[in-house]
A and B are shown apart, each in its own frame.
Chain A
Amino acid sequence: MDNLANHETRVSDGRPADRHKMRLLFEKTDLARLISHLDLMRTLQRAFARAELPLAFSEGFNPHPYLSVARPLSVGIESRYELLDFGLSETVDPDALPARLNRVLPAGVRVRRAYLSSEGRKSFGDIAWAGYEIRLAWACPPPRAADGLRALFAGGPLPVLKKSKRGEQTVDIAPLVRQLTLTPEGEGRLRADAVLAAGVVSLNPAHLLEAVRRHAPELWPDRSAVLRVSLLDAEGALFV
């Protein structure tokens, strides 16, 4: 997921007035992790319509709503920390928004907070890192798996093959991992708390696992599940 900034749906004209620009913090968990980014945008747009919240539309021949999700997730990854920027064509009390939307959202999509994004709030371009909880499980746990993984990510360069629409390229992912903490969670299970690049250059958690497959195949887990827990700015502070 390189150049994620390009995936954001932005329009240059017809932006809503500042007082109507809002930001939403929401979750996308359980079966909703299978909803793709494009489908999520449509799903959210319809939820706004059901909640009778009039989205601000762009002008022009083919008007579309001003709706932008920060750092779209890959299909299959859950998140407790998704941000949506949008505009309304009228003033709405932000505190009333979560309840209004949650009544009309499909299973697994839940709004946690809404706020006006007028007073000097940073734009999504200032997001630099994302926090993940990655759960790993082995049917036959390899000995000292945590130590092995710690060693793998503590050392030097970690070349991984990344596939994109423009072809394949080998990238050293080591500089894209800001933090990786491993905690045992019972027999054959580990939790990895990771902070990965999510700025102009970004790292999909799948590539962490790819690094394991490539450089320490004996530690390759039988099962893994990924949950995004935060978006952070360049200093590592929570991006809100």
Chain B
Amino acid sequence: MTNRLEELLPTLRKPARYVGGEYNAVVKDKNAVELRVAFCFPDTYEIGMSHLGTRILYGLMNEMDFVWCERAFAPWTDMEATLRAERLPLWALESGDPLSAFDVLAFTLQYELSYTNVLNMLDLGGLPVRAADRDDAMPLVIAGGPCAFNPEPVADFIDLFVIGEGEEVTAELMELFRARKRGAWSKDETLRRAALLEGVYVPSLYTVSYLEDGAVAAVTPRPGAPARVTKRIVQDLDNAYFPVKPLVPNTEVVHDRIMLELFRGCIRGCRFCQAGFTTRPVRIRSAETLVRQGLASLAATGYEEISLTSLSTSDYRPLEGLCDALLDECRKRRVGLSLPSLRADSFSRALMERVQSVRKSGLTFAPEAGSARLRDVINKNLTEEDLMRACGTAFEGGWNHVKLYFMCGLPTETEEDLAGIADMAHKVYALGRATAGRARGVGVTVSTACFVPKPHTPFQWEAQDSVAAFAEKQAFLRARLRKQITFRWHAADTSFLEGALARGDRRVGAVVEAAWRGGCRLDGWSECFSPEAWSRAFASCGLSPDFYAARARAEDEVLPWAHISAGVDTAHLLRERARARDGAASPNCRESCLRCGASRLLAEGTRCDAGG
């Protein structure tokens, strides 16, 4: 960072996010390490610092003596304008050195609408955005995270992708990059060697051909590259690295608390949920380990809250015991315990008393769909009685406000299903009034998102609703809901773009670049998002977002991510798709193993923890 920038900082919005210096930030002697990595989060500091995966990989890399991992985030618009006006490069927070000074830039792809931020950060760092334009002397640009399960839309910009969980393969890559520096390997040679690691995808080693109708004909690997890249997982979650000294930001971030990770994978198999399929098989962390990690994190951070995270926290068998063990220490320290991702069918009085014993947080349930029929289609396995019982328990326990989360545009959805959302909200409201009485105000919020079909799910072949269809459904629901219900709605145009990018092929990279050159960035922020600029970008590349978002695929179509495996057999996805069409729910993995294939990822002698 320069003196000039230091002077300008106080004039920018939330300047503390640009300077580092947080407690537990890792500062090493740059002359004493062999490899310098900048972990790049392509969104703002407040979002990036809330991400557990970033904390894990930052800590894990810095545990390695020869690596110094720093952080970089997407600057807000005022900072970007300042950097460009003053011709200053984007830097990493710990050393203040520009991104171009690093050996490796490691991006995490959490959300499709952050793709333009990746390009913008590379450009602000003084680097060409296209991988082919970066030479041997420039940093290698690697990426991972949930969006890497379809890496094609950003394949032109990234040198290599890590598919799946990063802990083990990141350590292997660091060793490889050190060997590169010692042996002065070229970029090409480094990438050829990296492609031999399990779970590493080097897009430049694959050629994509297309049919006349625009669908993918084939993805052809060059000699030496694997035909299919299968994701990596952590084999033993209980003994896996976990950061018990996370950074404590000096300025408020979105999730400003300790996060403990109870398990990976999910027994539920909700058919719309990408994470539910891509994080299989189920692996759990023991309550003893979690308590130890929780206490160590409290001592190292001074945080006021611990959050127990997973895809479905109430499916963690020893949950009550874990809460009790943590609550002992929490009460002493006035620390709150929060349990996001609770299922309505398992929200009990016992659990409620534990969450509210220190501090009362908000309560959200996710029925996802308004009718029993549609909940069976998506395999939510939740009855209206379950929901009413959970809300009743909450209202009786002193909660005044319940938030209900739904999706619009799910496959086979009809007007009746939408009307069901309103009916459900009204019933919950009436229950709240009856339980809480007139003295207490009762609030019910209905929050609806627009369904985005995602790769590696049983709905990956489905057409997404158009923006106009979403708008009609929103209007229908708004008219249907009584004024006592608070109604929130996720913008349809961002969800539609998310849909187009999520299932895009390699040609979409040109669209992302055109959009960025056309001024798009921070697309996930409504004050920055420009649907018109994206329309122009698609048109300038001769492509249509409808082709990617609104088109149903034939089951035998080669999908752009066909060469990437999340470990779940396509045959399983097709079986689940057929059951969805029949309106049939499937048992959860604890009731009956459906042979999805993911347990093949486990080493010999270990098994999926979903089993009974």
Q: Are A39 and B250 in contact (CB under 8 A)?
A: yes
- What is the distance, in angstroms, from B152's C-beta to the closest C-beta of chain A? 40
A57 within 8 A of B: yes
A35-B16 in contact given A46-B302, A105-B23 (Cβ < 8 Å): yes
* Smallest CB-CB A-B distances: 3 pairs: A76-B10, A49-B302, A46-B302
Q: How far, in whole Å, are A57 and B331 apart by their CA atoms in the complex?
A: 13
> For residue B15, which residue of chain A has the nearest CB?
A34
Q: Which residues of B contact A30 (CB under 8 A)?
A: 21
Q: How far, in whole Å, are A50 and B298 apart by their CA atoms in the complex?
A: 8
> For residue A108, which residue of chain B has the nearest CB?
B21
- What is the distance, in angstroms, from B246's C-beta to the closest C-beta of chain A? 12
Q: Which residues of A contact B598 (CB under 8 A)?
A: none
A47-B16 in contact given A35-B251, A76-B10, A105-B23 (Cβ < 8 Å): no
B248 within 8 A of A: yes
Q: Which residues of B contact A45 (CB under 8 A)?
A: 302, 304
A42 within 8 A of B: yes
Q: Which residues of A contact B303 (CB under 8 A)?
A: 46, 49
- What is the distance, in angstroms, from B401's C-beta to the closest C-beta of chain A? 16
Q: How far, in whole Å, are A76 and B7 apart by their CA atoms in the complex?
A: 9
B555 within 8 A of A: no
A153 within 8 A of B: no
CB contact between A31 and one of B7, B21, B23 (< 8 Å): that residue: B21
Q: Other CB < 8 Å A-B pairs besides A36-B16, A38-B252, 9 of them? A: A31-B21, A39-B251, A39-B252, A45-B304, A47-B23, A47-B302, A49-B302, A106-B248, A223-B7
- What is the distance, in angstroms, from A109's C-beta to the closest C-beta of chain B? 9
* B residues 252-305 touching A (CB-CB < 8 Å): 252, 298-304
- What is the distance, in angstroms, from B81's C-beta to the closest C-beta of chain A? 19
- What is the distance, in angstroms, from A105's C-beta to the closest C-beta of chain B? 7
Chain A 98-109 per-residue mask, 1 if CB under 8 angstroms from chain B, else 0: 000000111110
A107-B21 in contact given A34-B16, A43-B250, A75-B10 (Cβ < 8 Å): yes
Q: Are A57 and B334 in contact (CB under 8 A)?
A: yes
Q: How far, in whole Å, are A89 and B19 apart by their CA atoms in the complex?
A: 34
Q: Are B334 and A76 in contact (CB under 8 A)?
A: no
Q: How far, in whole Å, are A103 and B25 apart by their CA atoms in the complex?
A: 14
Chain B: residues with Cβ within 8 Å of the partner, total of: 24
- What is the distance, in angstroms, from B21's C-beta to the closest C-beta of chain A? 4
A184 within 8 A of B: no
Q: How far, in whole Å, are A215 and B590 apart by their CA atoms in the complex?
A: 77
Q: Which residues of B contact A31 (CB under 8 A)?
A: 19-21
Identify the interface centre among A34, A75, A76, A108: most chain B CB within 10 Å of its CB.
A34
> For residue A65, which residue of chain B has the nearest CB?
B334
Q: Which residues of B contact A48 (CB under 8 A)?
A: 302
CB contact between A46 and one of B9, B21, B248 (< 8 Å): that residue: B248
In the assembled complex, 23 residue pairs joining A and B whose CB atoms fall closer than 8 Å, in A order, are A30-B21, A34-B19, A35-B250, A39-B250, A39-B252, A42-B252, A43-B248, A45-B302, A46-B248, A46-B302, A46-B304, A47-B23, A49-B301, A49-B303, A49-B333, A50-B299, A76-B9, A104-B302, A107-B20, A107-B21, A107-B22, A108-B21, A223-B7
Q: How far, in whole Å, are A35 and B18 apart by their CA atoms in the complex?
A: 11
> For residue B299, which residue of chain A has the nearest CB?
A50
Q: Are A75 and B299 in contact (CB under 8 A)?
A: no
> For residue B334, which residue of chain A has the nearest CB?
A57
Q: Are B22 and A34 in contact (CB under 8 A)?
A: no
- What is the distance, in angstroms, from B69's C-beta to the closest C-beta of chain A? 18
CB contact between B334 and one of A32, A35, A63, A105 (< 8 Å): that residue: A63
> For residue A104, which residue of chain B has the nearest CB?
B23
Q: Which residues of A contact B (CB under 8 A)?
A: 30-36, 38-39, 42-43, 45-50, 52, 57, 63, 75-76, 104-108, 223
> For residue A50, which residue of chain B has the nearest CB?
B302
Q: Are B15 and A75 in contact (CB under 8 A)?
A: yes
Q: How far, in whole Å, are A50 and B334 apart by their CA atoms in the complex?
A: 13
CB contact between A36 and one of B20, B251, B298 (< 8 Å): that residue: B251
- What is the distance, in angstroms, from A157's C-beta to the closest C-beta of chain B? 29
Q: How far, in whole Å, are A39 and B252 apart by their CA atoms in the complex?
A: 7
> For residue B12, which residue of chain A has the nearest CB?
A34
Q: Which residues of A contact B301 (CB under 8 A)?
A: 46, 49-50
Q: How far, in whole Å, are A104 and B299 apart by their CA atoms in the complex?
A: 10
A34-B10 in contact given A107-B21, A108-B21 (Cβ < 8 Å): yes
Q: Which residues of B contact A33 (CB under 8 A)?
A: 10
- What is the distance, in angstroms, from A137's C-beta to the closest C-beta of chain B? 10
* B residues 209-263 touching A (CB-CB < 8 Å): 248, 250-252
> For residue A225, which residue of chain B has the nearest CB?
B7
- What is the distance, in angstroms, from A7's C-beta to the closest C-beta of chain B? 17
> For residue B335, which residue of chain A has the nearest CB?
A49
Q: How far, in whole Å, are A118 and B84 apart by their CA atoms in the complex?
A: 54
Q: How far, in whole Å, are A23 and B301 apart by their CA atoms in the complex?
A: 23
- What is the distance, in angstroms, from B155's C-beta to the closest C-beta of chain A? 38
Q: How far, in whole Å, are A124 and B61 apart by their CA atoms in the complex?
A: 47
Identify the interface centre among A45, A63, A107, A223: most chain B CB within 10 Å of its CB.
A107
Q: How far, in whole Å, are A32 and B10 apart by their CA atoms in the complex?
A: 11
- What is the distance, in angstroms, from A112's C-beta to the closest C-beta of chain B? 19
Q: Which residues of B contact A43 (CB under 8 A)?
A: 248, 250
Q: Which residues of B contact A42 (CB under 8 A)?
A: 252
Q: Which residues of A contact B19 (CB under 8 A)?
A: 31, 34
A106-B252 in contact given A39-B16, A48-B302 (Cβ < 8 Å): no
Q: How far, in whole Å, are A48 and B7 apart by their CA atoms in the complex?
A: 31
Q: Which residues of B contact A223 (CB under 8 A)?
A: 7
Identify the interface centre among B16, B22, B299, B300: most chain A CB within 10 Å of its CB.
B16
Q: Which residues of B contact A47 (CB under 8 A)?
A: 23, 302
A106-B250 in contact given A34-B19, A46-B301 (Cβ < 8 Å): yes
Q: Are A106 and B21 in contact (CB under 8 A)?
A: yes
